[in-house]
């Protein structure tokens, strides 16, 4: 037994570091603990078998299983919610999608809602006016226009009076293109950054004095595309990556003021232009007309068309039920201690688990299979492969012919 004393202490130290590191990462990312704990339990058994010391693996499994169950019970325990009555919430991008659905639901719950739209005479604005109470105020705001943002601040302050603003929900956002980075126009990158990043930054900075005064909350709808490299979404993903970093930084800076910052990461839902086929076909035609001829020849029009069709197919499969995201926003608004990050929708937690814990090559392959299952290579690569195949076949034929001629010569001799 004395021979095993020192290795067992090393083993316990290593195991403690591994389990502690896993637990810390779970707590930081707010992933569901079950798949992570299962993985670490498997590692524990493997290490136990390989290290061949006297600590029984069963004891370790029981201990970690108990910790897992305890942690899951604490997380799933129903927590008390704050009352909604009397709380004012400012929401951007309420013409459609998450913003429109959230504004209606918050109005039902008793919030005082300030909902911004791009078009006061549009269908979404009319629906809000018709279906919501007089607690809801519609404001026409383009978040990329500083004058409109400042005007919205003045109107909000005038209506609130001495009552503070409880929360800002940054929902407005756009995805103005799809396709390979080389094929994306610079205007597409600027368009995404202007709305998703600079517009959101502008509205947040403008309303921060109200939020600091009330020790309120900032809730931002972002995207997993800001953390993971989805193919053909570089312009959109880059703007969301900047957004994620911005609000993760703000979380630290605003903590002394009592302002809590949360980011919501939804899965795929039918919102905005995502399922509008006519809009994306128009974008596709514009891309074909503006691309340099050399690029179009290298990639091929059929390659671009396949990308568009795959994007449409993915959008058609998106979830039309927006309630998981709406309910997550409500949770972030009313829970006494909101989380830094929320995953809203099926599969997002699994996606982040694969991204966080599996090798990079596997996570990249998973994203390629999950998002766009492209089968057609660019035209230049197809022609190159075809040329190499022809050269290979010609060389084989020449070698066979040479061999046949030599055999004939040998017979003749």
Active-site positions read 236
Contacts of residues 183-190 at CB distance under 8 Å and 24 or more positions apart, as own/partner, are 183/287, 183/291, 183/295, 183/299, 183/304, 184/234, 184/235, 185/287, 185/290, 188/235, 189/234, 189/235, 189/238
Contact 357, 36 (CB under 8 A): yes
Alpha helices by DSSP H, 216-300: 234-254, 277-290, 293-299
Q: At how many degrees (to 10) do helices 5-29 and 57-76 cross?
A: 20
Tell which phi-psi region holds residue 399, choosing left (phi > 0), alpha (psi between -120 and 50) or beta: alpha
Q: Which residues pair with 113 in a beta bridge?
A: 89
Tokens of 125: 């604005």
Which stretch of DSSP H or E encloses residue 262?
strand 260-266
């Amino acid at each position: 037994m004395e021979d095993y004393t020192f290795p067992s202490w090393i083993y316990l130290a290593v195991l403690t570091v591994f389990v502690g590191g896993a637990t810390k990462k779970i707590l930081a990312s707010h992933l569901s603990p079950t798949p992570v704990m299962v993985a670490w339990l498997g590692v524990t058994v493997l290490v136990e078998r390989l290290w061949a010391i006297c600590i029984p693996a069963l004891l370790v499994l029981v201990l970690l299983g108990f910790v897992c169950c305890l942690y899951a019970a604490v997380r799933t325990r129903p927590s008390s919610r704050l009352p909604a009555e009397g709380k004012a919430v400012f929401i951007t991008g309420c013409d459609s999608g998450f913003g429109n659905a959230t504004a209606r639901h918050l109005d039902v719950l008793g919030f005082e809602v300030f909902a911004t739209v791009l078009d006061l005479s549009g269908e979404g604005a009319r629906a809000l006016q018709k279906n919501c109470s007089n607690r809801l105020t519609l404001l026409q705001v383009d978040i990329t226009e500083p004058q409109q943002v400042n005007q919205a601040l003045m109107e909000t302050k005038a209506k609130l009076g001495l009552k503070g603003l409880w929360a800002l929900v940054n929902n407005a956002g756009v995805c103005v293109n799809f396709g390979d980075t080389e094929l994306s126009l610079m205007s597409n990158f600027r368009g995404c950054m202007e709305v998703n990043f600079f517009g959101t930054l502008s509205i947040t900075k403008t309303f921060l004095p109200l939020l600091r005064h009330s020790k309120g909350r900032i809730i931002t709808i972002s995207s997993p595309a800001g953390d993971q490299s989805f193919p053909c979404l570089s312009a959109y993903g880059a703007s969301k990556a900047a957004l994620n970093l911005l609000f993760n930084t703000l979380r630290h800076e605003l903590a002394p003021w009592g302002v809590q910052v949360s980011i919501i990461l939804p899965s795929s839902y039918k919102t905005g232009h995502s399922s509008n086929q006519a809009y994306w076909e128009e974008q596709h035609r514009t891309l074909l007309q503006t691309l340099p001829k050399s690029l179009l020849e290298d990639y091929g029009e059929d390659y671009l068309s396949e990308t568009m069709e795959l994007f449409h197919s993915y959008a058609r499969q998106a979830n039309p039920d927006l309630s998981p995201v709406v309910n997550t926003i409500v949770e972030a608004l009313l829970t006494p201690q909101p989380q830094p990050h929320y995953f809203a929708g099926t599969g997002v937690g699994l996606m982040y688990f694969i991204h966080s814990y599996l090798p990079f090559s596997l996570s990249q392959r998973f994203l390629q299979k999950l998002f766009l299952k492209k089968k057609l290579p660019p035209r230049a690569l197809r022609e190159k492969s075809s040329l190499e195949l022809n050269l290979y076949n010609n060389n084989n034929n020449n070698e066979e012919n040479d061999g046949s001629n030599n055999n004939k010569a040998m017979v003749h001799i």
